[in-house]
Chains A and B, each alone.
Chain A
Amino acid sequence: MNILTVKNICKKFNNLEVLRGIDLEVNKGEVIAIIGPSGSGKSTLLRCLIRLETIDKGSVAIEGKPMVYQDSNGDSIYSSEKDIRILRKKMGMVFQNFNLFPHKSVLENIIEAPITVSNTPLIEAENIADQLLEKVGLADKRDSYPCELSGGQKQRVAIARALAMNPDIMLFDEPTSALDPELTGEVLKVMKALAEEHMTMLVVTHEMGFAREVANKVIFMDNGEIIEQGNPQEVFGNPKHPRTKAFLGQILR
């Protein structure tokens, strides 16, 4: 089942074309790894999907409902704020720099949105938070503050915080890039477990091992375009495009 449909997204920053016509279809339960050189527009793509950036052209639909659509003149029209709120609630996002709320404890970080956004009763929100902390292996850090955690622990809290809103799609923007190498494993393990539960995931990553092992589909982006996509065996084993080959040659060396 198609959960996310993206057609011909174009995005400019001033005069810089950062996305040049991206098409993407994501099925429920799919894990998509997005790879490509720095500056190729990977983060911008994710940010456009969750409307942290607005697109200039193209359309984005979630579960068949338009967040932004293209009218007959080719202009992109965003749906009403109310409808967008509903659609965005279906997505969670995890950032490279965690962006935890430093003044709130681990538990408070996780229950913040359920309580303020969804009006979940406190007890229920705490129960959900405890289950999620169990799941990411941080039950003992419930009452710690972000400043007391390692990078890997912070990122696992950030994942739990996003999951607390019960999203259908999770977006990860280089979730392990800010971590010391020895800490990436614990985060990737949590993400792998999520994938095994058939969470729909879009993961921008430089972890080729993870992409190869966990993703159903790998997308190679360069210069604002999708250059090549396919299953991991195809893209890693037998890249067709010279730019994919060059990139993989560099990164896997």
Chain B
Amino acid sequence: MELEYIINSSIAIAKGCKITYSLFFSTLIFSLPLGLLIALARISKSNLLQAATGTYIWLLRGTPLLLQVFFIYFGLPAFGIKFESMTAAIVAFVLNYAAYFAEIFRSGIQSIDRGQYESADVLGLTYSQTMRRIIVPQMTKRILPPVSNEVITLVKDTALVFGIGLADVLRTAQIIVTRDFNISAFLIAGVFYLVNTLALTLIFRKLEQKYSYYTG
């Protein structure tokens, strides 16, 4: 009886995975490249780009993610911009996470010794060749630990979308708990997050090992 209940609840909660996973992967796929672009603009020579990206990062890191989700879902329609709830969530998450990733990329890029740019320069590499072939690969090794942190935080942050009524894993579990007066659905949701963060931890450990072939 108890086991059957847990299996049935798990199947119901698994339906919430769709929202959780699509938000998670959409956020990663768009916010990582966007973050890199923002970081490059942040360290560019243009004062305008520096100021614009500086303000952007300040705004998005300086306010709660849930507030940003609310703003995009409830606030923007007042300006004639209306999104589906899922689209609104993805937009808010991408913009927010891009700001965090931008800061990680920026500090990663700036941690690379000036001599690397100079030796690439005197060898004749262009700026974009230098970034792609020399700087970004070295930066990637250095930023893996902070990126891993952010990605694990993202798994848990996806739960915020219950604020705009999306039936993600946590929201689905909550519905079952209120319906049945039985908290085991919360435990199942907890296990879901733990399994996923564990998987990510292991993936990032592998990646760090992949880059451990050199030091410096």
**Chain A 147-171 interface 0/1 with B at a Cβ cutoff of 8 Å (1 = within):** 1000000000010011001000000
Summed over the interface, the residue pairs from A and B with CB atoms below 8 Å come to a total of 62
**Chain B 121-145 interface 0/1 with A at a Cβ cutoff of 8 Å (1 = within):** 1111100010001100110010000
Q: With the chains together, A15 CA to B133 CA distance in Å?
A: 36
B116 contact set on A, CB distance < 8 A: 99, 101
Smallest beta-carbon distance A122→chain B, Å: 15
Interface size in chain A (residues, C-beta < 8 A): 27
Comparing B40-48, B71-79, B101-109, B208-216, the segment that makes contact with chain A is: B208-216
Interface size in chain B (residues, C-beta < 8 A): 21
Cβ-based interface call for A212 (8 A):
no
Smallest beta-carbon distance B144→chain A, Å: 13
Cβ-based interface call for A52 (8 A):
yes
Q: With the chains together, A224 CA to B3 CA distance in Å?
A: 84
Cβ-based interface call for A185 (8 A):
no
Comparing A112-120, A215-223, A242-250, the segment that makes contact with chain B is: A112-120
Cβ-based interface call for B62 (8 A):
no
Cβ-based interface call for A41 (8 A):
no
Q: With the chains together, A100 CA to B133 CA distance in Å?
A: 13
Smallest beta-carbon distance A148→chain B, Å: 8
Q: B133 contacts A116, CB within 8 Å?
A: yes
User: Is chain B's binding surface mostly helix, strand, loop or mixed?
Assistant: helix
Q: B115 contacts A97, CB within 8 Å?
A: yes
Cβ-based interface call for A132 (8 A):
no
Cβ-based interface call for B153 (8 A):
no
**Chain A 56-70 interface 0/1 with B at a Cβ cutoff of 8 Å (1 = within):** 000000000000000
Smallest beta-carbon distance A102→chain B, Å: 4
Whether A113 contacts B125 in the complex (CB less than 8 A), given A99-B116, A103-B138, comes out as yes
* Listed A/B pairs (27) with beta-carbon separation below 8 Å: A50-B122, A52-B118, A93-B119, A99-B116, A101-B120, A101-B134, A101-B138, A102-B138, A102-B214, A102-B216, A103-B141, A112-B125, A113-B124, A113-B125, A116-B133, A117-B123, A117-B124, A117-B125, A118-B124, A145-B213, A145-B214, A146-B214, A146-B216, A147-B214, A158-B119, A161-B123, A165-B124
A residues near B (Cβ < 8 Å) are: 50, 52, 85, 88-89, 91-93, 95, 97, 99-103, 112-113, 116-118, 145-147, 158, 161-162, 165
